[in-house]
Chain A
Amino acid sequence: MLGNFEYTRIRSIDEGCRALADAKEAGAVLAGGTDLLVEIRNGLKSPKLLVDCKALDDLHVLDTSPEKTTIGASVTLNRLIENRTFRGHYPALADALESIGTYQLRNRATVSGNICNGSPAADSAPVLLVLDATVHVHGVGGPRVIPIADFFAGVKRTALNPDEIVTSITLPVNAGRRTSFLKQQRIKGHDLAVVNAAGAYDPETREVRLAIGSCAPTPVLLDPIPMDVSDLAASINHAVSLVQRSVSPISDVRASAGYRNAVLPVLVTRILRELLDPGGEA
């Protein structure tokens, strides 16, 4: 037995928002449960009501149309990872999702749950940030959209109000941009990232977007950085120093601040080399 809560399987999104509003901050959406049930078991959370949205067909939609991709809130990580069109459009996101947990876990876990949990180490976050994802949410007052850059509010805190449910995440087309995700961790499948990072390079504007996880209270997105491909080493050094100024790693159970500070430039350099000089002398 886990904790002390009631459970409701909602039949409409409005019913869910009202149930969450009535629960007055003691409600929680149950998606895959791979974060929530662990936190309940460990006594870190004690919601009084779990709101299960998985009976809503709309939230299972995965649409990879040419204009934009829609990932319904109930779509599991494995459905995305195993979808060839999705991987073709967003290889770095597919890599990031595949790095999460274990095969069994990825059959239940969702991207929405990954970001709503508000962990600074959430592995989908850096790629969603560099891809400019949009989070679609629904509350008692109706729907609204939150740009992913405004979604993370602090450790375990997001921009969601207590009555709001994420219904989907959309991604703009990724045409022409190169993307990459890297993660440093102790043991795959059984631990979160010590540092994770993503980059997206647009050869037309010659700008790179970088996002870093596990090195600040929230995942961090940097402003676009112009890259001079004729002097790659200098551009990379510049980008690394901008990254170092944007983060504030701490020591925790997984790694010391010193280790994080040492790993970060290595990951960022590898990402930039991969994006700007694929197949080059790394």
Chain B
Amino acid sequence: MTHDIVFTVNGNPERASVPATMTLLDLLRDRLALTGTKEGCGIGECGACTVLLNGKPITACLMLAVEADGQAIETIEGEAVGGELSVLQQSFIDAGATQCGFCTPGMIMSAHGLLLRSPSPSHDEIVEAIAGNLCRCTGYEAIIAAIRLAADRLGGEPHDA
């Protein structure tokens, strides 16, 4: 049996007819061709599949596509607007926070969720926000610096050293 669902992705209304067993991650990648969202582990451990569900970061591999019915999803493809990189994306480049890039979409979506709930995050808040995003290249320091840089550029007041 398939389920007809209505939802938005990056603000665009979408409809799909999905089997119960399809994950949100498969819906995004295989049906909507939004392959910016990555699959690393498929079991909630690596964070490569992080997207925003109604503004909150979640792992798309641990949510069924049918559960997206009526919900708002944001993916890495929604970051750049009109060909212009988002402040977070530009900060990742400027801080050298990307190497192979596999973790980057998930990192940016986790960071996006963080800046929505805490526009001027402390170092510890940044670390906790990306603790569920594994990176095997950068050693994390440049990523933390990139998120701090983005927060500063967006006008948040840093509240620790």
Interface residues of A (CB under 8 A from B): 1-7, 9, 30, 32-34, 37-38, 41-42, 50, 52, 54, 78, 101-105, 107-108, 188-190
Contact = CB atoms under 8 A, between A and B. Distances in A.
B128 to A, nearest CB: 6
Contact of A103 (B23, B45, B128): B128
A88 to B, nearest CB: 20
Interface footprint category on B: 20 to 34
B66 interface: yes
A54 B1 CA distance: 20
A7 B3 contact: yes
B63 A33 contact: yes
A38 B43 contact: yes
B19 interface: yes
A33 B44 CA distance: 10
Contacts of B56: 78, 107
Nearest to A191: B45
Contacts of B43: 38, 41-42
B20 A105 contact: no
A103 B132 contact: yes
Contacts of A2: 21-23, 64
Contacts of A1: 19, 21-23, 26
B44 A103 contact: no
Given A34-B44, A50-B20, A188 B131 contact: yes
A32 B58 CA distance: 10
B44 A105 contact: yes
Contacts of B64: 2, 7, 30, 33, 37, 50
Contact of B59 (A6, A42, A104, A190): A104
